[in-house]
Structure formats: C-alpha cells, structure tokens
Structure 1
C-alpha cells in the first residue's frame, strides 16, 4: 500500500461497471470500473489501493468510443469513457454488493 496521500485523486474512479461479463469476472478476482479518460494506470492503481485497502496485481484499460443512438429521426451519441479491469491479489477482494 502507498502512504503518499497527497498524490491520490479519488475523483479518477467514477463508478463500477456491472454487466453480465463483469459479474463473471468477479469469480476470477477481476473488477471493472469506469475511470477518467485522462487517468494513467499508475494513478488508477494507487487510487484503488487507497480507497478499498487492497493490493492490485495488474490493470487492463481500454477506451470505449461513443456509439450511435437513434430516437425516432434524431441521431445522437453515447458518451465516451475509459474502462479499467483490475485484477487483485488472491488474498484480497472488493465488496461491490454490501448487505443491507
């Protein structure tokens, strides 16, 4: 874990991505998050380790380009975002679905 609190920007992580594929990846200790478009892998790693108090093994990122959406005669685009798939060490896990 890092002790350098000054360099951690919590706003990099936007929200967890919960889809069918991402819930299957939870069994392999991999978690998907939407992150800031300008975030680097080192920044994402330090932020995840700081927020969830876990040890990150490695990170895969991809930029999702905007898709066309049509509503009647109007054509628009979905927003562009960056997706990070984070693999944790075997001893750690993140609880995305807390019990009420």
Structure 2
C-alpha cells in the first residue's frame, strides 16, 4: 500500500480539536493499514516524529429511513500522538 493511500482525512470534532493542543491528532485511515504503516505514512507526509499510534475500528450500524434499511460504512481511525516538542499545523493556524 502506498503512503498516500494510508491516511484518508482528519476527524474534526470538539473532542479532537481539544486534543490537538496536546499533540494528539485523529485521522480516518485505510481499513487494511496497520500501526507501522500509519506511523511511517504520517511521519513522511507531515514531517513530524510520532510517539505512538492507537487504532479504533468502527463497525457498521443499522440505519433506517422509512421502510428502507441500510448500514453505515465500516471505518478505521488512528489516534496519533506526537513526540514532545513536535507540532503539526493542520488547520493553518500558525501563520
């Protein structure tokens, strides 16, 4: 798997935005990616040092709309902690 296919998009919510101040970032990643691939891809793309990577798997949930029933998609998220002293300018705040 190529490094540009590992990390899909950042997850931006109130909780993840608060964690960014502590150097903890949350990203949606490819379903087949493991911790080592995620760490290498993140360090290569953003040029920062990663301390640890935690992974959360979200199973699909049933959703109903009228008489139709479907499922949400299966997703995998990575919670990435940077080493002390490292910063990531994800939202372009430090200009």
Calculate the TM-score normalised by the size of structure 2.
Answer: 0.90
Task: Tell me the distance in 2 between the aligned counterparts of 1:95 and 1:68.
Answer: 36
Cα offset for 1:38? Answer: 0.9
How do 1:1-100 and structure 2 match up within 5 A?
Answer: 9-98=3-92
Distance 1:8 1:57, change over 3 A: farther
State how many pairs are aligned.
94
Segments of structure 2 that go 5 or more residues without pairing to the other structure are none
Q: Spell out structure 1 runs of 4+ moving beyond 3 A.
A: none
- With normalisation by structure 1, the TM-score equals 0.86
Q: 7-16 or 73-82: which moved more? A: 7-16
Paired with 1:31 and 1:83, the residues of 2 have a C-alpha distance of 10
Task: Tell me the CA shift for residue 97 of structure 1.
Answer: 1.1
> Which is worse superposed, 45-54 or 59-68?
59-68
Please report how far the alpha carbon of residue 8 of structure 1 lies from its aligned counterpart in structure 2 after TM superposition.
5.4
Question: How far 1:52 moved relative to its partner?
Answer: 0.3
